[in-house]
Structure 1
Amino acid sequence: MWNLTAVLCLVWAATLLYGEMFAFWVPSFWSCSWPHLRHRSSSPSSSRMSGQEYPSDYVKVAVLTDPQVMDRTSLHLAPKSLALEIVQFYTDLFMRRATLASVLPLQPDVILFLGDYFDGGPILTDEEWQESWNRFKHMFNLNMIGSSSTRVYYLPGNHDIGYAAVCFHMPEVVKRYEKEFGPRNYQFRVGKVDFIAVDAQTLDGSSQGNLTTATWDFVKNVSRDVNSTPRVLLTHIPLYRPDGSSCGPYRSSPIINQRVVHSDRNQEIQYQNYITEQSSNLLLDMVKPVLVLSGHDHDQCTVTHMSKNGKVREHTVGTISWQQGNLHPSFMLLSASNLVVHNLSSSDEAVKTHLCFLPSQLYIYLWYLSLFVLTLLLLLLWPTNGSRYFDGIIGHIRSLITGLFSRVTMKEKNEDEDCEYEMIWDAEGTMHLVKRALKAPTKPSSERSQVERGKAVIRPTAKKQTSQEPDGAVSLDVNVPGGLGLGLDASVKLQSRTHKSKTRVVIRRLLRAFRSLTVIAAVNVPLYMMLLFKDWIDK
């Protein structure tokens, strides 16, 4: 039993190490790498053969979106309740581990967030908003990143400032966002590529609104800036695509078609999952991007748009949180060219992208639960002499194999024992050995009768020696009614003893399982707590 306990301790330790630590190392060490390096390894005949010179031709950008830090608006749970605190802790911990173990080890030069940093951003009080903002900075290690050379850029989302209707009636929400994250519409350069960040929530708002007017004025100014630098359009809400458009092989949820909800009071937008077709076409024609990056949908989607300047690919990046309806959280790696690109119609020369998947946290917890059930079953059902039991099976198999090989030899030996050889001389004086079967000896009838009588005499004697009771007692049990009562009492006592024996076996097994569970917990609970908090503490 202790051997089984030791094996289960090792299995649980390996499971916890993988689920709480090693699984988050897989993207940075195995499944994910910068796209320009992947292109380099797949194109050995490239004109640049120097392994050290080639990587410097690109700037590394990590793209993250839709963390939606959980708050009192996320679930139907009481604010500050224990259940809500536990959910928030494990959700924040997942994204912090993803940042520390999956994203930052890849050493990005730029980190780009595509919006929805809060869950109930527009309706949170200033105190609640500040608390969520502090949690956001902690889980993405922004305090440490701010002291390094890594640049961080933000894009507003609908969960941060709301849709057009909220922005129109609650301008203080927009001011609160801009105070911490910076402007909603701006342009920045990475390498030789320009990134155009647009507040998508106000694009389809009323033309009389100041925020909508400011967003379109920014887009017009970008369109007047004629240069030869390729552009990447950044918008939280994806551009319009026809209903039923294919999203590519990486999408795991059903495709959501266009849906726009207007307010009854002033017809401002209260919800939209895509930018309208008219606004999408204007953006593509005015900005002239080689690539579009978006979020909002929480799932991966890749589509190709047709504009006046040709085909434009859009990547909708999935959420980085495991609590936002996507079982396969992800982030994107983007390599922006550090060299002048002459062919602006080709996005492959200017930017290269690669989608990276994070561990499926739900599957990890399901495996924990399955292993716990399996552990209980093994500890309860494992035989007392489990090692001897398996040794007996192996010995039985060996005896069967040995018996198969020895059967032929035994047959030949038995044939020699049941025969005799007789010497015969022929007329020429030559001797021959002739094999003859032995005749079974026949016993006289008197001997058989004596044996039979002997057997008959022996049987009662053996019975007396076994039972140690006179014959009268036997006949009493059979023929006397009182003897039947004694037999029933003995049967009841036997059943009672059997029941008590089974109860003792169950109790012993429960105690044995409890002792083994205590040992397994004593070894693995401290390991789990250490793994749980080693990434949570600021470094």
Structure 2
Amino acid sequence: MTLSPSRHAVVQTLKIIWTAFALYYELWTFYRHASSCTWPIIDQQTSSKVEHVLLVADPQILDMNSYPDRHPALQWLSQVVVDLNLRKNWRAALRTRPDKTIFLGDMMDNGRMSMGEQEYDAYYRRFRRVFKGSDADTVYYIPGNHDIGLGAPSAYSRSAQADERYVSHFGNPNKVVHTAGHALVMIDAPSLVDEDRQRVARGQTFTDWPASPNSTASFVKGLARQLEDTVPRILLTHIPLHRPPASDCGPLRERGTIRAGQGFGYENTIGADASRLLLDTIRPSFIFSGDDHDYCAYSHRYSGRTAEEITVKSLSMAMGIRQPGYQLLSLAAPSAPSATSHATTHCLLPDQLRIYLAIYIPLLLISLAAVVLINALEQRRSRLRPRPRIKTFRPLTRGVDLDMIRSPNWQQLHHREDEQDVMTDESYVELASPSRLSDEKARGALPAPASSRARRSRPLQRVSGPLERAIGTMPRALQAFASLLKRTLQSVLHSPRPSRSRGFVREVLYDVRDVAVFPITIFCIITWWMFTDS
């Protein structure tokens, strides 16, 4: 059934709208957010090269243990949606072309759990597949409590092999990276918290604490001898440093604040004594942390100095925030001891939940209402439209022997082919005259009426257009694909309908199919491109 002009206009308009929305909200809006956030400019003019560092916090790649109360199918769907969102966010962040990238912990949601080596390797490969596209030599990681655990070893909180697995896949948890005249000090905060708990339980100070050689406390104490006093230091820790209760986080935070607290497998802030050890020993000019998932800015005062701490937003849509984000850090070698040598800014990414709930769902409801309404109007118009009167042809039978007409010879003559396509009225009258019929009856046969003469069918010649000629010039390997693509596009653009009529529900479903095929195709292509393009 051919679509009416009004129904065709509605279907085509919805196609265009959905195609535009799919392109914008699945691809372009991520690039627009990234393009609007540029590298900060250092206030102090410097002739040295500026180094750009991208800071990413808490991506927490999900697995089947992330939401144990959900149905396995829903768990799998959650992984697909979150992985796709992380991939889009990561590609948008990479458009800034950083010189170095630092992950502030919690790369995987359940890297701390007890699992087989093959299962962990597959989990790690998912992380690498989502965050591919950056040079491995310029990417650094620090552990989070979801990577190696925190607290007493258990199947969920901290598996016995978590530390060893982390080192083999992500590298040393404590390290110093020198770049642009700065020392980037990266520490294993969860291990420091565990060590601090043991110290408090024994009633000792960090001065008296016999720290093991590979512990975070030993690493921090050794920095005083390794780093020069003139080198600015930036501390990077997964867990934020201690601060007074109800400390303000600034206007860029979505809600609440960071409060001290602990639980099974986590601690919101590093303890007061451990935080003082970090500040007094490392003497950082700036601090970056993660773990909280939301943005927070707080200034620490120590030994007559001030160090601002920025808690970086999570890059994931599944971490309880509406807008994920990342942090940009510009570094330059200081021209003088008191000169400003760094600048930082936060960048926000699209609100994926808002896109689903406030854009796609309302547009889906409006589209369904439009399709149902236009089909209802079409059916109403078809019922009210007067039906045309059909004129029936009655053959001339005056003076004709009806027994002869009913004879088998009549059917045979009715299908007789003749070279003539049109019979004149005089010929028909002569054919139907009683005398002619009597002669034919005597011979036992009747001529076929002119109205039943079938025209000879002539084979149709295929018209070759420019597209067909272009396909014909392609290599044979591409001709089949090009022909299939042509037929698919023709079926989508022209919305073919079978000639027989259908019910109201089927007509609505066919219109929904025609509208949905384009955005679904675009979504699949973008998803495929996101995970195949490096």
Counterpart AA for 1:329: P
What TM-score do you get using the length of structure 1 for normalisation?
A: 0.67
1:114 corresponds to: 104
2:144 corresponds to: 157
Q: How does 1:376-391 map to 2 (within 5 A)?
A: 376-382=368-374, 384=377
Q: Does 1:302 align with 2:297?
A: yes
Identical-residue share of aligned pairs (%): 30
Counterpart AA for 1:350: S
Q: How does 1:352-391 map to 2 (within 5 A)?
A: 352-366=343-357, 367-382=359-374, 384=377
CA distance in 2 between counterparts of 1:169 and 1:522 reads 47
Q: Check conservation: 1:285, 1:309, Cα contact below 8 A.
A: no
Q: How does 1:44-443 map to 2 (within 5 A)?
A: 57-76=49-68, 81-100=72-91, 102-125=92-115, 126-141=117-132, 145-146=135-136, 151-166=138-153, 170-204=159-193, 205=195, 206-207=198-199, 214-224=215-225, 225-261=227-263, 270-343=265-338, 349-366=340-357, 367-382=359-374, 384=377
Shift of 1:385: 7.7
The secondary structure found in structure 2 opposite 1:226 is coil
Deviations 1:116-159 (A, max 9, x none): 011111214122221111111111105x523xxx6111101100
CA change 1:285–1:322 in 2 (3 A) is same
Q: Which runs of 5+ in 1 are unaligned?
A: 41-45, 49-53, 262-268, 389-506
Counterpart AA for 1:27: H
1:523 corresponds to: 518
CA distance in 1 between counterparts of 2:211 and 2:167 reads 15
The secondary structure found in structure 2 opposite 1:296 is coil
What TM-score do you get using the length of structure 2 for normalisation?
A: 0.68
Q: Check conservation: 2:54, 2:98, Cα contact below 8 A.
A: yes
Deviations 1:414-473 (A, max 9, x none): xxxxxxxxxxxxxxxxxxxxxxxxxxxxxxxxxxxxxxxxxxxxxxxxxxxxxxxxxxxx
CA distance in 1 between counterparts of 2:222 and 2:349 reads 38
Counterpart AA for 1:309: G
CA distance in 2 between counterparts of 1:340 and 1:145 reads 30
For this pair of structures, how many residues does the alignment match? 389
Return the index of the structure with the highest Cα Rg.
1
Q: Which of 12, 16, 20 is matched with 1:14 structurally? A: 20
Counterpart AA for 1:308: S
CA distance in 2 between counterparts of 1:329 and 1:212 reads 38
CA change 1:256–1:230 in 2 (3 A) is closer
Q: Check conservation: 1:72, 1:78, Cα contact below 8 A.
A: no
CA distance in 1 between counterparts of 2:293 and 2:518 reads 39
Shift of 1:325: 1.1
Shift of 1:508: 6.4
Query: What do you get for the CA RMSD once the two structures are aligned?
Result: 2.7
CA distance in 2 between counterparts of 1:88 and 1:211 reads 39
Deviations 1:42-86 (A, max 9, x none): xxxx867xxxxx7x631010000111110122002579x332222
Shift of 1:234: 0.8
The secondary structure found in structure 2 opposite 1:365 is helix
Q: Which runs of 5+ in 2 are unaligned?
A: 1-6, 200-208, 382-501
Counterpart AA for 1:194: A
CA distance in 1 between counterparts of 2:213 and 2:361 reads 50
CA change 1:354–1:172 in 2 (3 A) is same
Q: How does 1:15-34 map to 2 (within 5 A)?
A: 15-29=21-35, 31-34=36-39
Counterpart AA for 2:341: A
Deviations 1:273-327 (A, max 9, x none): 0001111122111111000000000111011111113111000001101011111
The secondary structure found in structure 2 opposite 1:331 is strand
Q: Which has the higher helix share?
A: 1
The secondary structure found in structure 2 opposite 1:275 is coil
